[in-house]
Every structure is written in C-alpha cells, then in structure tokens.
Structure 1
C-alpha cells in the first residue's frame, strides 16, 4: 500500500474513538514501539562514533519529512548514491501531527539509509503526544555528541510550542555545552527553528545569536523549518546560518567539515 494512502487511513482512524463492549477502540496517542525503535539517537550515535576518523567529515542535512513519505523514500535513494557520507542529520518535523505511527513510518524509511541518522525535534513533533513519542523513540530533546574534530549540539528551539515562555531554547544549557568544548572542536549547533524565524522567541533571539557569535569554534549553524533554502551571515557576526529545504521540495544539503573549516552544497533529487 502506498505510504501516502496509509497516511490518509491513519488520519481517518485517528478520528475514531469508540468505547463500548465488542467495538474497536484506538487511541492515536498511544505509544507502542518495538525494542529496535527505542532510543534511536543514542544507538545511532554509537554507530557514528565507531566510524573510522578522517581529516574531513561529510554528512547530510535534511528535514521536514512530515507527510512526505514518497519524497522521503526518494531522498534515501539519492542519499545512498552519495559518496563518503558519514551520517545524516534530520532537522526536525519528522511527524505532522505528533502521532507515534508517523514517527514509525519515517523511521522505517530512514532505516534504508546506508548511514546512521540522528534528529532534532521540530515544532510538529511537539503536537499532541509528540514529545512523549519523540522521547521514547529518539531520546532527549537537547543533547550533544562528539565525532572527530566536531562537537554536534542539538537544541529544541520551537519556542512557539511553549507559548514563548522564555525557557526555550535553553540558553544556559547551550552555553554549558559550548563551554565544555575545551579541546576546541568545531561546535556545530543544530536546531529546527532558526532564530530569525517568527516561531523563535524574539526575547531570546539576540542572546542566542550572541552566544554563538561569542564562541570562536562556532563557524556555522544548521536548521530546517522554513521549507526552503536560506544561508548567510544573518547577524553580521561571523556565524553562517544554513537552512535546508523540506524533502517535500526534493532537496537537501551536504556539509563537509574539517578542523576550522566547512563547505555546504545543495542537492536536488
């Protein structure tokens, strides 16, 4: 059955909630996962850190799979044809409505990658029971890992979903992660909503950008959310901001890093 049709059926079923003897009952917010569908970020980080180290690291930035299942499958085919890729970063909005089945369908597609993948949470992933489903399936909303000369820092920047409460993104945690990078690795901050977007808390925008600009190891930073490409030195402070398009637009970025340097390419498929 085509995934697009399965998605429509899911939405129809999600609207059904009957509770009387002998009649089918389904709760769209229930979280039922197999063992191999739990703690995926941790498991894939372990795979990444076992990869042979080289002077350069080449990885893919993609995102906003949401309901684009067929396009996501085509992304996997395209990504698998790339050379020397270490891993894939998913920039969030795995799901559309925060339903566990959506996360499972996307993971089923992404498992066909030749590479491990890790993800950051998107605003659509925070809908309904999405935070619990994401937590069970992928892990912490804010986390980091090191590989070679790079420290990757993933942070929840979906301020609107928290009613702009002043706590998201967690800037104290971000500062501590940057401060703990005592060996001077490339510090690569990955999030879903870029700070110049209206869904980012405007009261935190200046401080967030300032934290990144104050760290000499932050040369560039990576996002999704906007369903289109964007890049540039937005705040004229030496930090290059990159936004990748959605897989629905059939595009992604390839990022190559080395000690103190980087290169970003756009790929259409």
Structure 2
C-alpha cells in the first residue's frame, strides 16, 4: 500500500468516526452535539419567557419518522401560522430509535419560530431509543404549566413493554392530575391513544377514568394512528384528538380560551 492510498484510507476512517457523520461504529451509540440535550426543558424555559395570552394557540403534529422532506415543509407551514406559542410533537420522532434520527429531526424542528416539546413514541423505544430520547429530550413522563393550562406528557407505548402493567405509569398520572393547586385546565398528551390496541387493555379503564373524573380535564392529545380523529371516544366529556403523520402532510392547529376550544386540520 503506497503512502497516498494509506492517507486516503486514514481520512476515510476518520470521517466515519465523526460524531455527526451518517455512519457510526455502533448505530445504537448516543453521541449528541453541543446544546442537543434536555431539549424539552430548554424549550419549556424558552416558552416561559413569552407571556401567555388569553387565547392559547399551538400546533399538534407527530410521526416524523423518515419523512424528513415532509417535516421540512411542515416547519415552513407552521412558521406561516400567526400567534402560535409552541408546537407539540406527539411521538415517533424516529423510525428505528436511533440517536442520529433524533438529531436529524431536531435540526429540522429547530427552524421553527417557536419552541417545541415532545412525547416519546413506540418507534422511539426500539433498540437503544429510550436512552437516546432521555439524553436528548429528557424524562419520558413530565409536565409543564403555561398560562391557565397544565400539559401532562406520558409514555403510553404499552406494547413495547409487553403489556406488563407499568406503561402508562398510572400512579404518576394520578399524582400529576391531583397536583393542580391553581385549578388550571389540564391536557394529557401521549403517543398511543388509550383505545388503541397498542395500549395496555388492563390499564385503559383506569387511565380513561382518571381523565373522566377530573373536572379540569376535557382534552387529550395523541398521534400514532397516522390519521385525524377527534371526538368523545368514551362519551364522558373528554375530547380525544389525534393528529396525522408527516407522511400524510397534515397537522392540527389548536386554539384554547376560557370555556372554549377549537381544533382545525391543516394540510400542507
């Protein structure tokens, strides 16, 4: 092997070792760029610096997976909407649970004019996905308050845990719903809706009952099904809203005010 060939080979190997390369020695390794960690809390902090209005407007989207071009178009469409406070990503950020996929999507989503927060999806739990998600976005279950509202994000991907009774974490949800001293309206956000077959059927009655029995909960938001649905699934006063995927080129524009709510389908 001559010197030129050896140098070319070394250059190629070094390029593979780059933390931001398309190629990794181990596809499950979690190597993040500077600032690309704990993103949910960072974006919540950014949101807190923007005073809430009497009418809250935000976007519910999800299932980016491998639809990168469509996600780019989503950002352009979302940035054209007026008076949006934030974007909620309803999970399945990735397709194979790889950190590199999460980084690619974050690059796209970081071009939004407003902060975005995420909930974990079933595809994000594949392989080393939970570790990658926690390092990049933070806890799988968390909440934040903004104005007159409390948003509760919960892992509802029961199938990936073999329906072992631990997901969703119903005791945690019960505690979050009870922790509402200011009487804010509460919105529960997950990936898999409780009536979906990928949700633990043993936990469905208790989960839905917690939402039904709390007078401050009248809306719950999801993705996963790659289609729009909207209605009181259990006929109990709680509105279950599901957004479609980026592959279907759609999202929901949600508007909330005291005593009212509006959900509008947007296609791009």
Q: Structure 2-normalised TM-score?
A: 0.90
Please say if residues 155 and 191 of structure 1, whose CA atoms lie closer than 8 Å, have aligned partners that are also in contact.
yes
Give runs of aligned pairs for residues 76-87 of structure 1, distance below 5 A. Answer: 76-87=75-86
Higher radius of gyration, 1 or 2: 2
Q: Which runs of 5+ in 2 are unaligned?
A: 1-15, 17-22
The offset of 1:54, in angstroms, is 1.1
Please say if residues 63 and 93 of structure 1, whose CA atoms lie closer than 8 Å, have aligned partners that are also in contact.
yes
Does residue 1:191 correspond to 2:190, yes or no? yes
SS at match of 1:248: coil
**What residue is the counterpart of 1:205 in the other structure?**
204
Q: Distance in 2 between matches of 1:185 and 1:35?
A: 35
Q: Distance in 2 between matches of 1:35 and 1:255?
A: 33
**What residue is the counterpart of 2:53 in the other structure?**
54
Q: Distance in 2 between matches of 1:173 and 1:50?
A: 28
SS at match of 2:264: strand
Give runs of aligned pairs for residues 217-228 of structure 1, distance below 5 A. Answer: 217-228=216-227
Q: Distance in 2 between matches of 1:259 and 1:202?
A: 34
Deviations 1:177-225 (A, max 9, x none): 0101121111000000000100000001111110000001111110000
SS at match of 1:247: coil
Give runs of aligned pairs for residues 155-166 of structure 1, distance below 5 A. Answer: 155-166=154-165
Please say if residues 186 and 259 of structure 1, whose CA atoms lie closer than 8 Å, have aligned partners that are also in contact.
no
**What residue is the counterpart of 1:99 in the other structure?**
98
**What residue is the counterpart of 2:230 in the other structure?**
231
Q: Structure 1-normalised TM-score?
A: 0.90
**What residue is the counterpart of 2:20 in the other structure?**
none
Q: Distance in 1 between matches of 2:81 and 2:197?
A: 34
The offset of 1:71, in angstroms, is 0.3
**What residue is the counterpart of 1:214 in the other structure?**
213
The offset of 1:53, in angstroms, is 1.9
Please say if residues 186 and 260 of structure 1, whose CA atoms lie closer than 8 Å, have aligned partners that are also in contact.
no
**What residue is the counterpart of 1:151 in the other structure?**
150
**How many residues are treated as equivalent by the alignment?**
247
Q: Distance in 2 between matches of 1:238 and 1:78?
A: 32
Q: Distance in 1 between matches of 2:229 and 2:24?
A: 45
Q: Which runs of 5+ in 1 are unaligned?
A: 1-15, 17-23
SS at match of 1:209: helix
**What residue is the counterpart of 1:257 in the other structure?**
256
- The alignment yields a C-alpha RMSD, in angstroms, of 1.2
Q: Distance in 1 between matches of 2:144 and 2:46?
A: 12
Q: Distance in 1 between matches of 2:50 and 2:111?
A: 18
Distance change in 2, residues 1:227/1:25 (3 Å): closer
**What residue is the counterpart of 1:169 in the other structure?**
168
Deviations 1:68-116 (A, max 9, x none): 0000000000000000000000000000000111000000000110010
